Amino acid sequence: MVRSGVDSLRQTISDACRVLAAKGAVSGILGHVSARVDGGLLVRTRGPRERGLRHTTPEDIRLVDLDGQGELGEWTVPNELPIHTEVLRARPEVGAVVHAHPPALLACGLKGLPLRPIYGAFDIPGMRMAADGVPVYPRSVLIRRRDLAQEMLAAMGGKPVCLLRGHGVTVTGETVAEAVVRTLALETLARVTLQVGPDIPAVPDEDQAELPDLGGAFFHETQWRALVADLDG
């Protein structure tokens, strides 16, 4: 990847951290976003003047290899870097990873409330993600070692998301935009699930079949542009 592409991706990851903070999916200094690049990844690190994800700048996005070594200077990689590196090692289709601690997803995991397709046209991609199933990693541990990340991956299977019970969520995407929009869609579904309770029926199959496939270019990229624009609104 040429340098201009790396610099553009740094800005995108920086924006992603700020969007997640603005939407309440992360708070304070906890959570991180990464994207695959040739030979490694760009990842949100913690700097010498750390001010939290809401104030992330491109300078906080550092290039490292899959062993966490690289152009760090005074910055340090996340303790849970293995979440990112093991996903990228195992899943070649993944281009970006979000690890966040959204409060409604945390509450659903603790209550044992499954994320089901309880609404349709309100959020079609979110409904489809729920209909496909949201796996759960049951251990409330800090995933700071490769073996723990591999356990998480085993629970995740081939799905784009995994709820980490008592912890947070891991979300993947082909792009940073897709991973962020998926994270926010899951958190919205979790909030609604908490509000309406576990007995609301799922959207019937025939109604799900009526809902169009909006496609990533329309939904994820358009929604992403709106989310970034709101940062400056």
φ and ψ at residue 32, rounded to 5 degrees:
-160, 155
Rounded CA separation 109/105 (Å): 6
Largest CA distance in the chain: 56
- Which residues, other chains included, contact 218 with Cβ-Cβ below 8 Å and sequence gap of 6+? none
- What are the percentages of helix, strand and coil residues in the chain, rounded to 5? 45, 15, 40
HSE-up (13 A, CA, CB side) for residue 228 = 15
Which domain does 200 fall in, by range? Answer: 3-231
DSSP H or E stretch at residue 136 = strand 136-137
Whether 18 contacts 231, CB under 8 Å: yes
Mean pLDDT per 10-residue run, the chain (233 residues)? 79 98 96 96 95 97 96 95 98 98 98 97 93 97 98 98 98 97 97 96 96 76 94 80
Count of other CB atoms within 10 angstroms of residue 199: 5
Domain count for the chain, please give it: 1
Rounded CA separation 185/194 (Å): 14
HSE-up (13 A, CA, CB side) for residue 14 = 14
Q: What count of residues does the chain have?
A: 233
CATH of the domain at 137: 3.40.225.10
The pLDDT of residue 175: 96
The pLDDT of residue 218: 67
- CA dist 215 → 165, 218, 222 (Å): 30, 6, 11
The pLDDT of residue 217: 63
Q: Which residues are catalytic?
A: 80
Pairing of β 61-64 and β 136-137: unpaired
